[in-house]
């Protein structure tokens, strides 16, 4: 399991969404790495890709709305990181649409996705929580 | 080569390792080397362009690579496949990006090129008459190297 309680930022809605994202990415990595043959797990891979694409956008929008609500000073930098991530996901979606779901590319995508998610939530998102606490947690 | 290059890269590596795998790498003795070479199993090369030009090479032993990916994913790994090598490439990419942000404080504006990942043999590259620096980093799960060649 990838999720650790130290990743919590102290805002319930965002923490719940992060936990869900980690759960999904964790399931996705387990699926693409299990011993089953590739054809058998393709449906689950496709389903996760659709979920990731939609859920990531919902989560980013809500997290950005929260940052705007608390006047978070680094909101623009954070939005830029989200935009770069969405672009990276969309590039893979495009590759999968054009070339099909080949195992090589899916594994590559999985490794990147996992690393990026841990780094983003473990670092950049923590700063939202720190800012909120510095304001006495009153927002 | 200026000490701020090495210090920024070390600081970035330490930060990223702490976040991703809960490990704080310690600095070994810096060495001057004549070329970019590696006897380690997984290598990630980052090109640097802008005010500073050159390359940064991250070299990891196999067991350390597998252990890092295991810590991150919670899954056992037995070989450096596409999943593991892609995660490793992204780790190096993030360290490089953070190092360049730190170097921006010294008024160097640079970009990194997408990581190139080599699993298995890494063909050494000469740096001509110049010298590169090799920074060994020690961790409880193994020793890895960062070779740095940057010039203005």
pLDDT at residue number A38 = 83
ipTM, two decimals: 0.90
- Reported as a single tens digit per residue, the pLDDT across B69-94 is 999 999 999 999 999 999 999 999 99
Domain contains A36: yes
CB < 8 Å to A88, chain B: none
Domain contains A44: yes
Domain contains A65: yes
Q: Which domain holds residue A107?
A: 10-133
Q: Give the pLDDT band (50/70/90) at residue B130.
A: confident
Q: Give the pLDDT band (50/70/90) at residue B122.
A: confident
Contact status of B94 with chain A (Cβ, < 8 Å): yes
Nearest-CA distance A28 → chain B (Å):
11
pLDDT at residue number A40 = 83
Number of domains within chain A: 1
**A2 closest CB neighbour out of B16, B74, B88:** B74
Q: Give the pLDDT band (50/70/90) at residue B42.
A: very high
Q: Give the pLDDT band (50/70/90) at residue A34.
A: confident
Mean pLDDT of B24-33: 95
Interface test with B, best of A119, A120, A121, A122 (most B CBs within 10 A): A119
The conformational region for residue B77 under phi > 0 = left, psi -120 to 50 = alpha, else beta, is beta
Three state DSSP letters for chain B: CCHHHHHHHHHHHHHHHHHHHCCCCEECCCEEECEECCCCCEEEEEEEEECCEEEEEEEECHHHHHHHHHHHHCCCCCCCCHHHHHHHHHHHHHHHHHHHHHHHCCCCCEEECCCEEEECCCCCEECCCCCEEEEEEEECCEEEEEEEEEEC
State which residue of chain B sits closest to A118, comparing Cα positions. B20
CATH number, residue A41 = 1.20.120.50
pLDDT at residue number B132 = 93
> Is pLDDT at A59 greater than 80 in this prediction?
yes
Domain contains A34: yes
> Is pLDDT at A84 greater than 80 in this prediction?
yes
Domain contains A28: yes
CB < 8 Å to A107, chain B: 81-83, 86
**Which one-letter DSSP state was computed for residue A122?**
I
Percent of chain B with pLDDT over 70: 99
Domain contains A69: yes
Q: Give the pLDDT band (50/70/90) at residue B111.
A: very high
Give the residue, B35 or A67, on which the prediction is more confident: A67
Domain contains A5: no
- Reported as a single tens digit per residue, the pLDDT across A109-125 is 999 999 999 999 999 99
Contact status of B111 with chain A (Cβ, < 8 Å): no
Nearest-CA distance B141 → chain A (Å):
18
Nearest-CA distance B54 → chain A (Å):
24
pLDDT at residue number A1 = 67
Ordered by where they begin, the domains of chain B are: 3-151 (3.40.1550.10)
> Is pLDDT at A138 greater than 60 in this prediction?
no
**B75 closest CB neighbour out of A33, A118, A119:** A33
Answer yes or no: do A118 and B19 touch at CB < 8 A.
yes
Best-predicted range by mean pLDDT among B3-7, B24-28, B104-108? B24-28
Domain contains A112: yes
């Amino acid at each position: 399991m990838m999720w650790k309680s130290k990743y919590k930022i102290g805002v319930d809605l965002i923490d719940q969404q992060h936990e869900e994202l980690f759960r999904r990415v964790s399931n996705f990595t387990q699926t693409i790495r299990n011993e089953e043959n590739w054809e058998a797990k393709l449906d689950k891979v496709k389903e996760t890709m659709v979920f990731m694409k939609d859920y990531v956008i919902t989560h980013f929008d809500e997290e950005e709305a929260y940052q705007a609500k608390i006047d978070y000073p680094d909101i623009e930098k954070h939005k830029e990181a989200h935009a770069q991530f969405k672009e990276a996901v969309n590039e893979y979606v495009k590759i999968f649409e054009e070339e099909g779901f080949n195992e090589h590319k899916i594994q590559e995508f999985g490794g990147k996705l996992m690393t990026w998610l841990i780094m983003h939530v473990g670092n950049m998102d923590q700063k939202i929580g720190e800012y909120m606490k510095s304001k006495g947690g009153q927002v | 080569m200026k000490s701020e290059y090495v210090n920024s890269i070390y600081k970035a590596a330490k930060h990223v390792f702490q976040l991703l795998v809960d490990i704080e790498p310690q600095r070994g003795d810096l060495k001057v080397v004549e070329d970019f070479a590696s006897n380690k199993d997984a290598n990630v090369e980052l090109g640097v362009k802008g005010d500073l030009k050159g390359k940064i090479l991250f070299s990891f032993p196999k067991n350390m690579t597998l252990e890092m990916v295991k810590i991150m994913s919670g899954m056992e790994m037995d070989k450096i496949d596409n999943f593991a090598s892609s995660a490793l490439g992204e780790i190096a990419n993030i360290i490089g990006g953070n190092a360049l942000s730190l170097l921006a404080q010294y008024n160097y504006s640079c970009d990194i090129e997408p990581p190139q990942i080599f699993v298995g043999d890494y063909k050494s590259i000469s740096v001509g008459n110049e010298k590169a620096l090799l920074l060994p980093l020690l961790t409880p799960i193994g020793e890895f190297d960062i070779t740095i060649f940057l010039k203005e």
